[in-house]
Every structure is written in C-alpha cells, then in structure tokens.
Amino acid sequence: MDFTRRTTLITGASTGIGASFARELAARGSDLVVVARSEDRLTSLREELAAAHGVTVHVVPLDLARPGAGAEVQRRVEELGVTVDVLINNAGFATFGAVAEGDPTRMAEEVHLNCLTLTDLTARLLPGMVERGHGAVVNVASTAAFQPIPRMAVYGATKAYVLSFTEALANELRGSGVRALAVCPGATDTPFFDVIGEQAAVGVRRRPEQVVATTLAALRKGRPSVVDGFLNRIVAMTPRLLPRRATLAVAERVTRPNPVV
C-alpha cells in the first residue's frame, strides 16, 4: 500500500507496537491521528515525527476503555476535518489470574477495549473507506487467539474475537478496494508485561518493529490474518493438531506462577 498523503489513525499509539506503527508510517509519508491515554507521550511522539518526516500528527488523548469512546474518537476526527484512510486498532490490555479472583470492573474494561471499542471504531470509519474505494483496517490480535488460556481467560477470548471478526470482515470487503488484516504477535518487547507480569511471557520476545514489518508485508499480499514470527506460527498451529483437552493442559502449565514448560 502507498501511505503517502494518506491519514492513519492508530490507537494505543503512545508506546510499543502502536508507536512503532506511527514511526514507520510517518516515514512512509502518512499523516497520523494518534490516540491513547497519555497526552504527554503522544505530544512527544508528534514532535518527533513532525521534525523527522514533516507529517501532520493529530493528538487525541482518550481512555478507550470507557463507554462511548468510539463515538468520541469519531467526533474528534470530524472536528479535525480529517479523512481516515487506514485504521490500526492496536490498543488493548490483559489481566492475569483466575476469573473467580479477578476484578469484575477491570475484566469488563478489558472486554470493552479489546472488543467493543475495536468493533465500534471499525464500524464507524469503515463506511467512508468503502465509499472511497480504498483503505485498510488492521486489528492487533495475538497468538493467544488460537487456544483458551487459563489465568488469561478473558484476554484469550477477546483476541479470539478479534481474529474471527477481522477474518470475516476481510471476506466481506473482497472487491471493495479496502483490506482488513488481523496481526497476531506473540511475546513482544513492549510495556505489556510491565503491567501483567513476566509470568505471561512465553517464548522469545520479538521487537515491535518486526511486528510492524510483518503486518505491512501481509497487507501488501492482501492476507486476512498473519502470525508474527516463525516460532509463533508453529505455536499458533499446534492447537489445531492436538485434542482440546491437551491444548488446555499445555496452556495451563505455561501460565502457572512457576510454569512447567
């Protein structure tokens, strides 16, 4: 895809994979709308990218886990007079621990951000792309999408939703000039594990820049989904080969506080 003189909206753009998407697409000539809770980090990113690449970066500080966040983003975009050509739904978070011991409010926010806001933003910005006959929606899923994960039950379920939703969307958009892609990273070197804890990190961590490169290559090929990294692709394929109970047993062992791997 040619990102020159396009506008890309990126959620969760203040750090990690979202910030890497912002840097790479700005280098390719795309203007940006960056959305996250941290206004300071977004402002710093805007100054960096404007100086380095001469692109326009609009900052929208917003908690996307709150009800109505998608409508608020749409309203802000309209106020800016911006046409969004590419949507990257990257914002998301995970909780760790047994559901019976978890915070119900936090788990509801997890579902809201990972699923509802992603769907809402897609549904609000997609019609304009279809009408114009070009654009893309990139939804960041996870290798957690491919099997249930005890102690990360909500997170795995939300990412399974993202993967299924996006692959179905890609099929709906065939022939429209608009692409939809679910990218499934494994463990990635981002602040994600600063929040959830190291016990959730499985395998060798990839760099955010590698996830972005994998995503853009898959977009060029028109793929509906892609798993980042060779070893992660093997991990994603394994549940299809094992009985369901065996898959659950492996996932349970991996997420124990003192995992057996």
Say if 232 falls within a structural domain. yes
Say if 259 falls within a structural domain. no
- Amino acid present at 134: H
The whole-angstrom separation of Cα 75 and Cα 219 is 28
How does pLDDT run across 23-64, given as a tens digit for each residue? 999 999 999 999 999 999 999 999 999 999 999 999 999 999
Distance from CA of residue 125 to its chain's centroid?
16
| pTM (2 d.p.) | 0.91
> Residue 136: which of 241, 40, 216, 50 has the closest Cα?
216
Which of 3, 21, 146, 155 is catalytic? The answer is 155
Say if 2 falls within a structural domain. no
How does pLDDT run across 241-254, given as a tens digit for each residue? 777 777 778 788 87
Residue 261, pLDDT above cutoff 50: no
**Highest mean pLDDT out of 10-24, 186-200, 236-250:** 10-24
Contacts of residue 182, defined as CB under 8 A and 6 or more positions apart, other chains included, come to 138, 139, 140, 141, 145, 162, 163, 166, 167, 224, 225, 226
Q: How confident is the model at residue 255 (pLDDT cuts 50, 70, 90)?
A: confident
Known catalytic residue: 155?
yes
> Residue 117: which of 67, 154, 164, 74 has the closest Cα?
67
Say if 209 falls within a structural domain. yes
Place of tokens 């890609």: 170
Say if 260 falls within a structural domain. no
Q: Compute φ and ψ for 255, nearest 5 degrees.
A: -95, 10
How does pLDDT run across 195-231, given as a tens digit for each residue? 655 555 556 789 999 999 999 999 999 999 999 999 9
Q: Domain span at residue 145? A: 7-254
Coil/strand/helix, residue 241: helix
Q: Number of structural domains, the chain? A: 1
Say if 162 falls within a structural domain. yes
CATH classification at residue 218? 3.40.50.720
**Which contacts of 106-113 are long-range, i.e. CB under 8 A and separated by 24 or more positions?**
107/154, 109/65, 110/65, 110/154, 110/155, 110/158, 111/154, 111/158, 112/65, 112/66, 112/67, 113/64, 113/65
Cβ 39 vs Cβ 64: under 8 Å? no
Burial class of residue 101, CB neighbours in 10 A (0-12, 13-18, 19+): exposed
Say if 211 falls within a structural domain. yes
Say if 34 falls within a structural domain. yes
Residue 75 in tokens:
């309203």
Element (H, E) at 178: strand 178-184
Element (H, E) at 182: strand 178-184
